[in-house]
Structure 1
Amino acid sequence: MEANVTKEEDVKNYVDQTVNKFGSVDVFFNNAGIIGEVGPIDQQSLENFNKVLSINAMGIFLGMKHVIPVMKKQQYGSIINTSSVDGLRGSPNMAPYATAKHAVVGLTKTASLEVAENNVRVNSIHPAPVSGDMMKTVHQGQSASQGNEDEQVQEEITKGIPLGHYADSKNIANLVLFLASDESEFITGAEYRVDGGMGAAG
């Protein structure tokens, strides 16, 4: 079903429809997000800042707000919130995105403490750059601000990834599957990097 994650009635509806059809919400992958405009803080519009936070942070909040009561009633469940490597560090020219992704960490840790007694787990994942449309937006924005070609920007970003390449969506999905499964039943409130070694490099 389609939903705008910034509209509470849409979020409530997708939770209600899921419960009506399946009877429970076993796993919630809270994954909606956008990059927004790329540029330095003093050139960022308030409109863009609000839009990015609305989707990337408030969308996470609203999803948990309506899924958590279902999982508390069930007395089980796994919530996986998508943050980013930029939720664990600064990210020049991407202040709205980095701010929102840091917010996801705070929401995740807070929620994990609130629902632990209900056997509900809440963790965040922190992907490196992933090949796809979102990174194309980053390349274009960084190119415009730096005066470089998109390929040069990608090469520069790749230099910061010890494994030497962008992630594939499958790399992220494998981590999500682990956190969704009973194999991770004693893990909650954790930050999981899937970043090709970026965190180790500092």
Structure 2
Amino acid sequence: MKEKIFKIIRQLLTIWGGISLLGLILIGGYLGYSMTLANKNIEDKATKSDVRFVLNWCELGDERIEKVNKSYTSGRSFTGDHFDAYSIKISNVTIDELEKQNNSTGQWYRCDSLPKILNDAVSFAGSWQHETPWFPTEKKIRTKDFYVYPWSIYCNGISPSGVQLIFINPKEKTVYYIDAEM
């Protein structure tokens, strides 16, 4: 009787071990695939619904989106490093509307007069120009024509290591979004 119980237990443990091994192989295969072959840069594939969060975050509202001019989504590294950027054409926005907005989550800042941390964040964002030549240069952004809405700025010490910034040029009715982390 004892031998029969041990034999059944051994068979159950063998089956459980096989299932566990198969699970580990499947998980390892999925992780390997998602970090290599499936981890690609995607350009100009974003739709209005993919970018509507940008205008909702800064409380302008996604109903203003006319079209996505350009988009870039990088592959993700294992550590989370990435770079995403969008250029969005909107129907309307006024400078008065931007300057009056000061809510619980943030406010718009004119790019020719920024606080220190936001100034550093804009410099960090400008360092990604090689990935998206269509994105305005840092020199062009730092004019009275552009406004920035800081959604988040991550720092190592006092230097930005990641940003989520929303830029707007009211004259061109264009919103630019950057999400970069390294």
| TM-score normalised by L of structure 2 | 0.26
Q: Which has the higher Rg, Structure 1 or Structure 2? A: 2
Q: Which has the higher contact order (CA 8 A, sep 6+)?
A: 1
Structure number having the greater strand percentage: 2
